[in-house]
């Protein structure tokens, strides 16, 4: 796996051994192509960060900062190593569960871009993670009015409805659904 573009473009990054489904280069390239200039100077939150590839790609493309959240100690260690290897500034790693992080003191308009790549919703437990994320009012308030929530999920499982989010765009890449959501007013 590698960073696709920007100041760290083409640099390889490590992936935790227990991570079975990192975001592919093709999907990352499509996501960042869709986001375009929104990435520049953005404050980014990378939930279920894994290798940190989404947040690191954002930093490489000009994001001002990126907060990486994952409950795995191995993932957090790998993200820190990847940040050192790419020599990108502005990255902060939080070893916490997503629910604990989101219930902490998030402030309004804290982030411009939020990436969420939870385990694909193939069963009730993982489907509940996606639904919990989309029902979390603290997350909705933490995103700026023009901000975006980008959720990766299993292509065959439609995104659950949420009164907090409006789907601006969805694309399917093989087994991956990428949904771009905006906060409802």
Please name which of 111, 58, 50, 116 lies closest in space to residue 81, comparing C-alpha atoms: 50
Check if the beta carbon of residue 178 is closer than 8 Å to that of residue 120.
no
pTM of the model: 0.93
Domains of the chain: 25-183 (3.40.50.150)
Would you say residue 135 has pLDDT above 80?
A: yes
Q: What is the pLDDT of residues 26-65, one digit of tens each?
A: 899 999 999 999 999 999 999 999 999 999 999 999 999 9
126 pLDDT band, cuts 50/70/90, is low
| Residue 5 burial class via C-beta count within 10 angstroms: exposed 0-12, middle 13-18, buried 19 and up | middle
Mean pLDDT of 176-185: 92
């Amino acid at each position: 796996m590698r960073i696709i573009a920007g100041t760290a473009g083409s640099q390889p990054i490590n992936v935790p051994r227990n991570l079975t489904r990192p975001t592919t280069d093709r999907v990352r390239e499509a996501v960042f192509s869709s986001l375009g200039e929104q990435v520049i100077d953005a404050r980014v939150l990378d939930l279920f960060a894994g290798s940190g590839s989404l947040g690191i790609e954002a930093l490489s493309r000009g994001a001002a900062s990126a907060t990486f959240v994952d409950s795995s100690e191995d993932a957090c260690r790998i993200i820190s190593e990847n940040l050192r290897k790419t020599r990108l500034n502005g990255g902060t790693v939080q070893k916490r569960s997503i629910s604990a992080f989101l219930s902490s003191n998030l402030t309004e308009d804290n982030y411009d871009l939020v990436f969420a790549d939870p385990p694909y919703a193939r069963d009730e437990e993982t489907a509940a993670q996606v639904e919990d994320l989309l029902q979390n009012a603290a997350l909705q308030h933490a995103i700026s009015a023009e901000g975006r929530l980008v959720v990766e999920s299993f292509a065959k499982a439609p995104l659950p409805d949420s009164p907090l989010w409006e789907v601006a765009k969805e694309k399917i890449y093989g087994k991956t659904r990428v949904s771009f959501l905006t906060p409802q007013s």
